[in-house]
């Protein structure tokens, strides 16, 4: 059961699910061949600037990409 923020630099205790963001990831395969799912939680403060991703069976807390709302927000950004 999740009981704290998954961000290793935070660790805030979970009191209410309405504060933050819950993630659901497969972590292993059961004996029946179905994926076993695990819940993870980022507190509200961490969820504003970070997200949780899974790559190569490893979970990582990474910065969120900036949200572009106006073309002027792209000033200074290069496109590939």
pLDDT of 69 higher than 70: no
Nearest residue to 11 (alpha-carbon basis) of 46, 59, 37? 46
* HSE, side-chain direction, 13 A CA sphere, residue 75: 3
Q: Number of structural domains, the chain? A: 1
* Encoded tokens for 36: 């076993």
Asked whether residue 73 is assigned to any structural domain, the reply reads no
How far apart are alpha carbons 14 and 5 in whole angstroms? 7
- Domain of residue 34, residue span: 1-64
Asked whether residue 60 is assigned to any structural domain, the reply reads yes
Asked whether residue 70 is assigned to any structural domain, the reply reads no
Check: pTM over 0.85? Answer yes or no.
no
pLDDT band at 28 (very low <50, low <70, confident <90, very high): confident
């Amino acid at each position: 059961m999740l009981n704290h923020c998954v961000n290793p630099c935070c660790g805030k205790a979970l009191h209410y699910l309405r504060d933050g963001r819950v993630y659901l990831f497969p972590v292993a395969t059961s004996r029946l061949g179905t994926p076993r799912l695990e819940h993870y939680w980022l507190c509200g403060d961490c969820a504003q600037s970070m997200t949780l991703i899974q790559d190569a069976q490893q979970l990582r807390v990474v910065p969120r990409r900036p949200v572009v709302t106006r073309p002027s927000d792209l000033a200074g950004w290069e496109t590939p």
